[in-house]
């Protein structure tokens, strides 16, 4: 008999369900089924895969409200944020459907390098095989669609391993995938015990692993996976920079939406705010007024902006990070208040550049402010992090923007927007400990494929 686990609502700690872990025998049976389905899926025309993904988009839209409510119950994410997630998930399925029709190779002429003339190389993209897709708690439907959709579009079979907190929403998503036309031998769901994850990652029937989550889990995956293809979307310590010519109201709005939405539990959240000294006091005043007026409470209430973090342990970890900064000399301008899994919006000033809040990823609604006078002084501070995911800058000075684009160690720099900007067809990913490879539908399809060349 398999072990069970419980899922509770972060808002009121009510029991949402008790579920059995997938046994190792069940995992192996799923992998065997997926292996048996590979040939059929390889032979499924791209137009049919596109049709299935288009139908999935329709089903996601039709079931959007019910899924949004389920996301809110599972994660504590506000219903407003959950509805936005469902819109993005629907868009991702549409993009997967469109990109499934656009997978194309190229033809090369061998005469570019003598004496190898007289041949053509026809380069095609082919599926890797079976992709293990591992998703986190914070965007349970959207991130899952960003993995399952491109993997299926490329012709891979998929073993989907969600975070245990999201068992009910993951089951519902798989049901919709089946209803859209994905066969069971193309998609299987599993939630094995943590003790079984190393041998799952190492299993010879798994050809690639697409993971979103923390660096500790990624290290374990990489150690077990060996030569498998890895697509790892990890953490971030993303800067938001406000120059003296920036639009302050827009910058405050970005700070609020890119850090305090989803209770700050986003890899691309604006985790460090660098404010030019010429506009610091004005920005600070407007930020404190906006952040202090936000409603904290029941995530099912459309008026609530900040719900709970995922559990009390997460709230306690955030509290420790904030207290460490305060002990190191930071001052509290707003917040530093906790109750159960709730963390009130917190704004800190005079945060030392070498403390945890400035160097590590803190997954919560905390805004450390750093005053600067010259952009050159903040570049090494921003780069002094193991992460390098995204950044945002508010400025109309093209020279400053280009200089930051060249110097900052990030995968994306958004101009006059926050670091949380993401859209389905842009490449998404970072450098250093922020991950390996790129998501974004077209790019994820390539990551989960390999090139095969016919020489004629």
The catalytic site residues sit at 233
201, 224 Cβ separation under 8 angstroms:
yes
To which H or E segment does residue 232 belong? strand 229-233
Q: What's the CA gap between 402 and 214, in Å, rounded?
A: 30
Question: What Å distances lie between residue 368 and 132, 257, 275, 310, 344, CA to CA?
Answer: 37, 15, 10, 21, 14
The C-alpha torsion from 123 through 129 and 130 to 134, rounded to 10°, is -20
Query: In 3D, which of 433, 92, 374, 85 has the Cα closest to residue 238?
Result: 433
Per the DSSP assignment, residues forming a β-bridge with 230 are 209
Phi-psi region of 59 (alpha: psi -120 to 50; beta: other; left: phi over 0): alpha
Question: What Å distances lie between residue 63 and 115, 137, 198, 389, 444, CA to CA?
Answer: 60, 20, 35, 32, 25
77, 71 Cβ separation under 8 angstroms:
yes
272, 360 Cβ separation under 8 angstroms:
no
Q: What's the CA gap between 398 and 406, in Å, rounded?
A: 12
Q: What's the CA gap between 352 and 370, in Å, rounded?
A: 9
Per the DSSP assignment, residues forming a β-bridge with 157 are 130
309, 10 Cβ separation under 8 angstroms:
yes
């Amino acid at each position: 008999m398999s072990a069970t686990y419980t899922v509770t609502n972060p808002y009121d700690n009510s029991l949402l369900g008790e579920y059995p872990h997938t046994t190792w025998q069940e995992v192996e049976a799923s992998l065997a089924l997926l292996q048996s389905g590979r040939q059929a899926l390889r032979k499924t025309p791209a137009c049919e895969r596109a049709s299935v993904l288009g139908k999935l988009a329709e089903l996601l839209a039709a079931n959007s409200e019910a899924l949004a409510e389920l996301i809110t119950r599972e994660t504590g994410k506000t219903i407003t944020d959950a509805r936005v997630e469902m819109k993005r998930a629907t868009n991702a399925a549409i993009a997967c459907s469109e990109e499934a029709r656009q997978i194309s190779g190229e033809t090369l002429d061998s005469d570019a390098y003598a004496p190898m003339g007289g041949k053509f190389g026809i380069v095609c993209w082919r599926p890797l095989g079976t992709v293990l897709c591992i998703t986190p708690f914070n965007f349970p439907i959207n991130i899952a669609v960003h993995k399952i959709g491109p993997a299926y579009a490329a012709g891979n079979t998929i073993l989907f391993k969600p975070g245990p907190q999201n068992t009910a929403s993951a089951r519902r998503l798989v049901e919709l995938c089946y209803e859209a036309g994905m066969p069971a031998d193309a998609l299987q769901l599993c939630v094995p015990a943590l003790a079984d994850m190393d041998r799952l990652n190492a299993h010879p029937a798994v050809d690639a692993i697409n993971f979103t989550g923390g660096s500790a889990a990624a290290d374990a995956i990489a150690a077990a996976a060996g030569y498998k293809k890895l697509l790892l979307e990890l953490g971030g310590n993303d800067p938001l920079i406000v120059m003296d010519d920036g639009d302050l109201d827009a910058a405050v709005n970005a700070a609020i939406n890119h850090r305090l939405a989803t209770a700050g539990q986003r890899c691309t959240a604006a985790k460090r705010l660098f404010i030019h000294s010429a506009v610091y006091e004005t920005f600070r005043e407007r930020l404190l007024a906006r952040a202090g007026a936000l409603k904290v409470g029941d995530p099912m209430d459309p008026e609530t902006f900040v719900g709970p973090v995922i559990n009390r342990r997460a709230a306690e970890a955030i509290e420790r990070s904030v207290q460490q900064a305060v002990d190191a000399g930071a001052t509290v301008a707003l917040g530093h208040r906790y109750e159960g899994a709730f963390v009130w919006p917190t704004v800190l000033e005079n945060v030392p550049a070498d403390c945890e809040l400035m160097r590590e990823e803190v997954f919560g609604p905390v805004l450390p402010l750093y005053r600067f006078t010259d952009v050159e002084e903040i570049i090494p501070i921003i780069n002094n992090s193991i992460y390098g995911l995204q950044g945002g800058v508010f400025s109309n000075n093209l020279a400053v923007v280009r200089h930051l684009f060249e110097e900052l160690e990030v995968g994306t720099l958004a101009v006059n927007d926050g670091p949380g900007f993401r859209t389905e067809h842009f490449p998404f990913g970072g450098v250093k400990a922020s991950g390996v490879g790129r998501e974004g539908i077209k790019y994820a399809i390539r990551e989960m494929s390999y090139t095969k060349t016919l020489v004629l």
